[in-house]
């Protein structure tokens, strides 16, 4: 499946279908074969600098479909996020539209419960980008509100406010460990990232937060994130 054959998030496909992405790379081939023992499917995301936020948002909301208890818990958390944004110094008129878009999507998942409709929304560029922008602002707010903790993981030459303004809030800026940690904690989303690093012979993964049971699995390779599905969760 080429990147041009889908918009922002692809249909689910067999994990082994991405072996053809780098046929000459033996390390990549071996690692994907190894991953296929634990993950049997994936969705590709567009490499537009927003792939992490879009992948996390889509895959977690998809995991909530049919789970009314978790949806209610998540709705309660989302309803608290404007307070977090205000506490971080964001003016309400600058985030209200993005918050409303995200909350309406959570409500759609609760009432509709359709994977096809969720995928359709995420592939609507305008709506999907509003979701990403909300997640970026929330990530920024979480970091700012816990600046004493996060400043230890940011370049010493950049303060927390500048880091958020330059590396978190703008669309199309790639994310790193700091942003992943912040957003997963901000929304209480446990996720596992599988790293396919060409420089390392072994497969590596990291769970955010540690000791949590992941609700979301992502595949990372060369600054890009795709969505993974654990073998025992594929129906």
Q: What Cα–Cα distance (Å) separates residue 45 from each residue in 49, 123, 150, 206, 209?
A: 10, 10, 28, 20, 23
- Look up 224 and say whether it is catalytic: yes
> Which residue's entry shows tokens 């000459």?
24
Residue 86 and residue 80 in contact, taking contact as beta carbons nearer than 8 Å:
no
Instruction: Given the residues 48, 197, 205, 206, select the one marked as catalytic.
Output: 48
Judge whether 160 and 144 are in contact, CB under 8 Å. yes
For residue 108, give the H/E element and its range: helix 92-111
Place of tokens 């959570």: 106
The count of residues in the chain is 235
Helix (H, G, I), strand (E, B) or coil at 39: strand
Beta bridge partners of 43: 227
Catalytic residue among 51, 129, 164, 175: 51
CA distance 184 to 60: 10
Rounded distance between C-alpha atoms, residue 65 and residue 113, angstroms? 5
Separation of alpha carbons 117 and 128, rounded Å? 13
Please indicate whether residue 175 is annotated as part of the active site. Answer: no
- Closest to 36 (Cα-Cα) out of 230, 234, 233: 230
Distant-in-sequence, close-in-space partners of 102: CB < 8 Å, separation ≥ 6: 57, 78, 130, 131, 134, 135
Q: Is 164 noted as a catalytic residue in this protein?
A: no
Query: Of 129, 164, 175, 224, which one is the catalytic site residue?
Result: 224
**Residues recognised as catalytic:** 48, 51, 224
């Amino acid at each position: 499946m080429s990147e041009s054959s889908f918009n922002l998030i692809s249909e689910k496909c067999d994990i082994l279908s991405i072996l053809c992405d780098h046929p000459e790379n033996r390390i990549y081939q071996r690692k994907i074969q190894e991953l296929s023992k634990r993950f049997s499917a994936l969705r590709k995301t567009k490499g537009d600098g927003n792939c992490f936020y879009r992948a996390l948002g889509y895959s977690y909301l998809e995991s909530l479909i049919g789970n009314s208890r978790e949806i209610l818990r998540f709705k309660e958390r989302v309803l608290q996020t404007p307070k977090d944004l205000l506490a971080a110094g964001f003016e309400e008129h600058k985030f209200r539209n993005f918050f409303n878009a995200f909350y309406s999507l959570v409500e759609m998942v609760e009432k509709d419960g359709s994977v096809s409709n969720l995928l359709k929304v995420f592939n609507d560029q305008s709506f999907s980008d509003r979701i990403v922008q909300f997640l970026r602002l929330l990530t920024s707010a979480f970091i700012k509100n816990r600046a004493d903790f996060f400043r230890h993981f940011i370049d010493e030459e950049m303060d927390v406010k500048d880091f958020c303004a330059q590396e978190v809030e703008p669309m199309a800026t790639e994310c790193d460990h700091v942003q992943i940690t912040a957003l997963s904690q901000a929304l209480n989303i446990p996720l596992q990232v599988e790293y396919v690093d060409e420089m390392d012979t072994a497969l590596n993964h990291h769970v955010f937060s540690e000791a949590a049971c992941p609700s979301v699995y992502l595949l990372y390779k060369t600054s890009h994130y795709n969505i993974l599905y654990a073998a025992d969760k594929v129906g």
